[in-house]
Structure 1
Amino acid sequence: MELGSKAKTCRDLAKEGNEISSDSTRSCETRSIRKPKVNDGRRNATFIRHASVLSPGSPWAVSVMAGPAGGGGESPRLIPARVPAVFEVSTAPGSASFGKNEVGVTVTAPSRRPVAARVLDLPERPGVYRIEFTPEEVGTHLVEVSIGGDKLAAGPLVAKVYDASLIRVTDLGNAIVGQQCQFKVDASAAGEGQLEISINEGEVPNHVQVVGGGRCLVFWRPETATPHRVDIKFNGEAVPSSPFVFHVAAAQKVSIDTSQIELIPVGETAACAVRVEGSSGGELTVTVRGPRGEIPVRLTGDAVSGLIASFTPRHVGPHTLTAHYNNQPIPGTPFVCKAYDGNLVNVTGGTLARVGVPVQLAVDAAQAGEGNLEITVAARGLNIPTQVHPQGNARFTVSFTPTEACDHVVNVSFNKMRVPGCPLVLSVSEGSGGGARVTLPGPVPLHRPAALTLHHPSASLDQIEVNVEGDRRVVSCKAIGAGPNGASVPAAVSAAGPGVFKAEFVPRAVGEHRLNVLVNSSPIPASPFHLKVYDVTAIRVKDVAHGTVGKPVTF
């Protein structure tokens, strides 16, 4: 006989080679049973068998001989709960007959409680007696039959009771052409038997993964945008609500823009756009789970004009956004947003300072979440060098040395958000350095002249020396032509007015430069000073591609 391709797949939830009890399940195996080819195309059905023996329905005939040497040895029977189960007892041909009163029967349920049973005459069939009982419990029932007070030598009959109404099917919903779908079947309370699953009368293949405990996942992939019917039977009986119908939508390209919600402030609304191309309608589900559970998400718009998912974080920490369209995860999700709160950054330090005396401030961002901390100190509108020293656990010490007797403004921002207490204004008074003070520019470009201005009311030009250190090089600056050997040097100190001197030099390397200022060979207060040098020509922009309006471009 020719075997066709209409496949049925069996999965056995019983332990290999052994029967299992009605209230337990085991690992599974897969078998393929082929049917003869017919003319209605491919057919696929899945069977999950959780008994090692399957038998037809009652009544079951049991041939016995009078006396303890009687027969029995019957295979376990599968019978439904709340339906009368029937056994027929008769003598084998040529054996001595027995009367109804000589037939005894005891039925024991899995809970060890007795089940009422009765023996009936069959007038039309002399010598044949019918045993009937109606089981209520799921599980193995033992049927003890005795003839004239002697039990059957082969032991009790075994009835495996099942209940198809206890099977639960969950995670049903819509599907998309070409994408794998799944639903769950829970047969843990239904007893032993065979679970049959077919989609579109076997036209659509499905695959079953047993997860244990009588539960399984069913996977399938629709190929057409039409409703798909799922029939589920247990021992030939339809389970509750079967057949089930999946509505299958055409494949659509769905994308979500999360570029604006990587860092989000607590208490402010965050939003991301979901774009569905070629949509004829579908179901969008967006959930956000924060450090203390799920938070509400508001969906606005439609698939044509664009969908917007918005939410407001209430606590600092990671927020996981999960999005599904027609029960399928949208690429790029789950996505973790990081909520922060700049109001939880604390800045402490003094409000008074002196020229040449280092100042320290403490910045504590331990409770503020993830983000970028920016700290600047400015005097007379120009930023001055600062040093930031990490102390661990998002705590920092900021230090700088004032060089002028004027107000110094400290600004601290967290993710571009100014923190409480800023700007912090420090009043700087004259120090003990005879009124010497230095003015420095902000960061300066490479290979461009830079200048330091020294204010000293009592110094003369030949008493001033400036050493510039950068990239392991030292440039000595004195009065022009007044080097140690009388030769010219690359930088020079010149008078710029009464008590004002200017040291000019050209930096040759990128990075931080140290400027040592000495008067009469002694460093002035706050020396050395620091100056940063940059090179904008060293920046390279790569991988610039063509862009599309409304879509992110990365380079």
Structure 2
Amino acid sequence: MTESYEDAHTGHVTFSGLNEPCSVGSIVEVVINAQSDRTTSGDVGVKAISPTGISYTCDVVRRANSYTATFTPMEVGEWRIGIFYENDHIRGSPFSCHVYDPNLVNIYGLDVGLVGQELKFTVDTSRAGRGPIQVTVMRHGRQIPCDIYEDGKGSGRFQVVFTPDGAGQYKIHISFNNNEIKGSPFILDIADASSVSVYGDNLRMAAVDRLATFMIHALGAESKDVTVIIT
């Protein structure tokens, strides 16, 4: 928990800081402690400064032994919250407020997979702000183990790796700062390569400049799930 700050001039007005990051578009509530009857509603002021330097003056409401101010951040990044008593910053001001946007998380490589073969995809949070990701892979109500690695500390790009243990539909839940991202859960159909067979005379011999054909039998698969490479 963030420590409360005091000094000789503003010791009766304190703020403990924001312990959790905030999402874009949310209402951020700033609760300031007033430890003396000497303060009045006109003594305390609050400003929220965006990452691009835009300053917003917040309305301040006195409630018993505290003041409350709110603002709605619309930019990703580190906001600064200035808290003033008699036009002076209280100790510790300005305070940090990290803002994120789960809608800016991108997923790459989550297309197709095969039973028993390691599957890897990317979760890119580099434009979405700071914060941890949570990934849960489910099949038939059972959780499948997965590993998460960051591509360089602070890059915001994460590799998720898991190995499908059976054919069928998998649900992949992805959250950022405990908020499920847009599109989650993602549905992934896993095929069993051992059930795929290929047959046809042209697999053994074909004539130059003549159309050659062969058949692929893949039960439950669609054409987009099959890749053919001829060398």
Deviations 1:413-472 (A, max 9, x none): 1001111221111112223289xxxxxxxxxxxxxxxxxxxxxxxxxxxxxxxxxxxxxx
In the other structure, the counterpart of 1:289 is: 49
3-state SS of the aligned residue for 2:193? coil
Measured in 1, the distance between the counterparts of 2:75 and 2:43 equals 29
Q: 1:391-540, aligned counterparts within 5 Å?
A: 391-392=151-152, 393-432=155-194
In the other structure, the counterpart of 1:255 is: 14
Deviations 1:320-358 (A, max 9, x none): 111111234323322111111111100123443221122
Q: Equivalent of 1:347, from 107, 110, 114?
A: 107
1:300 to 1:380, Cα distance in 2 relative to 1, 3 A:
same
Measured in 1, the distance between the counterparts of 2:63 and 2:92 equals 18
Write the letter of the residue equivalent to 2:190.
Answer: V
Measured in 2, the distance between the counterparts of 1:357 and 1:366 equals 28
Larger radius of gyration: 1
Measured in 1, the distance between the counterparts of 2:110 and 2:24 equals 30
3-state SS of the aligned residue for 1:371? coil
1:420 to 1:306, Cα distance in 2 relative to 1, 3 A:
same
Q: TM-score, normalization: structure 1?
A: 0.31
Measured in 2, the distance between the counterparts of 1:348 and 1:327 equals 49
In the other structure, the counterpart of 2:32 is: 274
- Contact map agreement 2:171 2:188 (CA 8 A) in 1: yes
- Contact map agreement 1:297 1:309 (CA 8 A) in 2: no
Measured in 2, the distance between the counterparts of 1:350 and 1:270 equals 34
> Relative contact order (alpha carbons < 8 A, sep ≥ 6): 1 or 2 greater?
2
Write the letter of the residue equivalent to 2:106.
Answer: N
Structure 1 residue runs of 4+, over 6 Å off? none
In the other structure, the counterpart of 2:210 is: none
- Contact map agreement 1:252 1:278 (CA 8 A) in 2: no
3-state SS of the aligned residue for 1:432? helix
1:359 aligns with 2:93: no
In the other structure, the counterpart of 2:68 is: 308
In the other structure, the counterpart of 1:377 is: 137
3-state SS of the aligned residue for 1:259? coil
- Contact map agreement 1:356 1:431 (CA 8 A) in 2: no
Displacement of 1:293: 1.6
- Contact map agreement 1:299 1:307 (CA 8 A) in 2: no
3-state SS of the aligned residue for 1:315? coil
In the other structure, the counterpart of 1:264 is: 22
Measured in 2, the distance between the counterparts of 1:340 and 1:389 equals 20
Measured in 2, the distance between the counterparts of 1:304 and 1:402 equals 57
Measured in 1, the distance between the counterparts of 2:97 and 2:58 equals 17
Write the letter of the residue equivalent to 2:25.
Answer: G
Q: Equivalent of 2:87, from 303, 318, 327?
A: 327
Displacement of 1:403: 0.6
- Would you say how many aligned residue pairs link Structure 1 and Structure 2? 185
- Contact map agreement 1:255 1:275 (CA 8 A) in 2: yes
- Contact map agreement 1:411 1:424 (CA 8 A) in 2: yes
In the other structure, the counterpart of 1:19 is: none
Measured in 2, the distance between the counterparts of 1:286 and 1:370 equals 24
In the other structure, the counterpart of 2:78 is: 318
- Contact map agreement 1:295 1:313 (CA 8 A) in 2: no
Give aligned-pair identity as a percent. 30
Measured in 2, the distance between the counterparts of 1:303 and 1:355 equals 60
1:337 aligns with 2:97: yes
In the other structure, the counterpart of 2:149 is: 389
- What RMSD, in angstroms, separates the aligned Cα atoms of the two structures? 2.3
Q: TM-score, normalization: structure 2?
A: 0.72
- Contact map agreement 1:341 1:368 (CA 8 A) in 2: yes
3-state SS of the aligned residue for 1:332? coil
Deviations 1:132-189 (A, max 9, x none): xxxxxxxxxxxxxxxxxxxxxxxxxxxxxxxxxxxxxxxxxxxxxx63xxxxxxxxxx
- Contact map agreement 2:18 2:96 (CA 8 A) in 1: no
1:328 to 1:350, Cα distance in 2 relative to 1, 3 A:
closer
Residue ranges of structure 2 left out of the alignment (5+ in a row): 1-7, 197-231
In the other structure, the counterpart of 1:530 is: none
In the other structure, the counterpart of 1:209 is: none
3-state SS of the aligned residue for 1:331? coil
Structure with the larger strand share = 1
Residue ranges of structure 1 left out of the alignment (5+ in a row): 1-177, 180-250, 435-555
Write the letter of the residue equivalent to 2:148.
Answer: V
Measured in 1, the distance between the counterparts of 2:27 and 2:57 equals 10
Displacement of 1:303: 5.8
